[in-house]
Amino acid sequence: MTNSTPQPAAENGIYYFLGNITSHALHLIPLHKLVGGTVVVLSEKAKKEIEKTYHLPVLCLQDAPDANLEINSQHAETFKYLEENAKQIIFYEIFKFNDRSLVPKKPVTFFLTHGNMLKNYMGDQTQREKSVKDYDYIAGLGPFMKNKFMSENKIPENKILDIGVARTDDILNGESQTQRKVETLNKLRRNGLTDKQTVVSYMPTYWGDSSVYNTGLKVVWNIKKEHFLIVRLHPQTKKVLQIIYKALSMLKKNVLFVPNGNKLGISLEDIYAISDVIIGDVSSVMFEAILLKKPLLFAYGSGTHRQDESTYDAISTIVSNSGEINEKNVGRISSIISESVSNKIDNKIWDKTIGETFFLCGGKCTEKIAELVQSSPKQV
């Protein structure tokens, strides 16, 4: 038990279970604005971060800072509370219930995912497949992923919701995007951006098949002054890497290190709005950026960190029609960026991939999620 006094339960019975993965709050914020609810975490550290960084109502009943993706008897108090008080519980990660008695029985449970599933998201095709079936409903994201869930993971169609990506809803709104762009560009001008520079963002994932360990460092080092580079690492990136990227960025006048919860108040959505070119790998960022119809550069790690081409099956056409950054060509990254801006994108290819990959890609995803969360019955 913790010594803190828990905040009152959500009056509408909606709870967002994050465990100790606080960065997933970025995915629930659009929905929370519409339907409210309370975030549930498993440690005092996570509670403080949710309050400080995301300013959301949060409940912590047990201080279990070592809890990861497995729910055990030590988490019984939290899940007893949810069983008694929740109407709906929303998950953004597949938590494995080792203690089967803790699988929610009365509340309706939703696994909405925290990202794009470009990575081998279901991982172990036995364990993850079994775990996802503990949830009443899961998000399909788009036709490609829905069909994959049904054919490869044998998930019944009635458990898969036709909903896409909520996090980009706001910036797909033209008025909101314009306002964000103006405000954020003003912040960047106060931090070195000139009107002659192209705004480029580098936003890699943090583990496995990521460019962050090698190629990304050379992206920062080799960027030329005609481009202004924003570096936003995944919130879960190892601290030592964050320190290295921050130090390297400080050596370059045209590079700005903008971590999650930065003092400048520049959010991921702000970076989406202002970027002329987006560089990344298998992070959700690249998946979502397709909706924005901006030039993309796919950065490849080397050795054990190089992603397999099959990783991009869902968006392979866009990948093959976009630029690539790797350890061999990263020295001329500025010319590759300039070429990408000059060539622009092929709207026909982008539109076709968007239709195959996303449900509700016109900025209405959050509204649909809200409707489904509040109206879907418990699966029997």
Residue ranges, comma separated, of all CATH 3.40.50.2000 domains in the chain are 170-357
What's the pLDDT at 105? Answer: 96
**CATH topology for the 170-357 domain:** Rossmann fold (3.40.50)
CA angle, residues 277, 363, 13, in degrees to nearest 5: 120
What's the pLDDT at 1? Answer: 38
Residue ranges, comma separated, of all CATH 3.40.50.11820 domains in the chain are 14-165+362-375
Question: Can you spell out the DSSP letters for 296-322?
Answer: EEEE---GGGPPPGGGGGGGHHHHHTS
366 close to 374: Cβ distance less than 8 angstroms:
no
For residue 171, which of 353, 350, 283, 30 has the smallest C-alpha distance? 30
What's the pLDDT at 25? Answer: 93
Q: How far apart are CA 147 and CA 140, in angstroms?
A: 8
CA 331 to chain centre: 29
Flag residues of the chain having pLDDT under 50. 1-7
Angle, helix 347-357 to helix 143-152, in steps of 10 degrees: 40
What's the pLDDT at 360? Answer: 86
Q: How far apart are CA 158 and CA 364, in angstroms?
A: 21
What's the pLDDT at 6? Answer: 43
What's the pLDDT at 83? Answer: 97
19 close to 67: Cβ distance less than 8 angstroms:
yes
Q: Give the CATH class of 14-165+362-375.
A: alpha beta
CA 28 to chain centre: 10
Residue 54 has what DSSP assignment? I
What's the pLDDT at 362? Answer: 78
Q: How far apart are CA 93 and CA 114, in angstroms?
A: 6
For residue 275, the one-letter residue type is: S
What's the pLDDT at 129? Answer: 67
Q: How far apart are CA 18 and CA 319, in angstroms?
A: 32
> Under the phi-then-psi rule, with left for phi > 0, alpha for psi from -120 to 50, and beta for the rest, what region is 36?
left
pTM of the model: 0.86
Phi, psi of 378 (to 5 degrees): -70, 130
What's the pLDDT at 283? Answer: 82
